[in-house]
Amino acid sequence: MTDVFSKKKRSEIMSRVKGRGNRATEKRLADIFRRNRIVGWRRNFPLYGRPDFVFPTPKISVFVDGCFWHGCPQHGEKPTSNRAFWLEKLRRNRARDLQVAKTLKANGWLVVRIWQHELTRPEHVAKRVLRILGYAV
């Protein structure tokens, strides 16, 4: 189906749409941190790439990646309608993820990515984060 708006007008309309982020997945990870007494993390920390969580002192950035939006190899589904658009969009998302990780690493940050589906195993996520933070698990 062709768009009823010009490319410029569609871009203007879409630029006004504000995403709600991945609040549900972020909240689940924050709950995991709290239940496991993982402290020292911050949200909305002003850092390139806008990590979901940051541990400022050890310079660790944590991203919670949605399986669809970031192309999870296990659960990332490829849309069937408007396929070309979505495949390109998902490709750009993955390329941006790589660029963000590269930039943060170049500035001395450790980048941790947690897939959305991993949050169904909170004990696994907690142990992984504790290990990264240097706690004996």
Under the banding of pLDDT at 50, 70 and 90, the label for residue 5 is confident
Q: Which residues, including other chains, have CB under 8 Å from residue 12's CB and lie 6 or more apart? A: none
Write out pLDDT tens, residues 79-133.
788 889 988 999 999 999 999 999 999 999 999 999 999 999 999 999 999 999 9
Q: CA distances (Å), 29 to each of 2, 6, 35, 43, 80, in order? A: 40, 40, 10, 11, 31
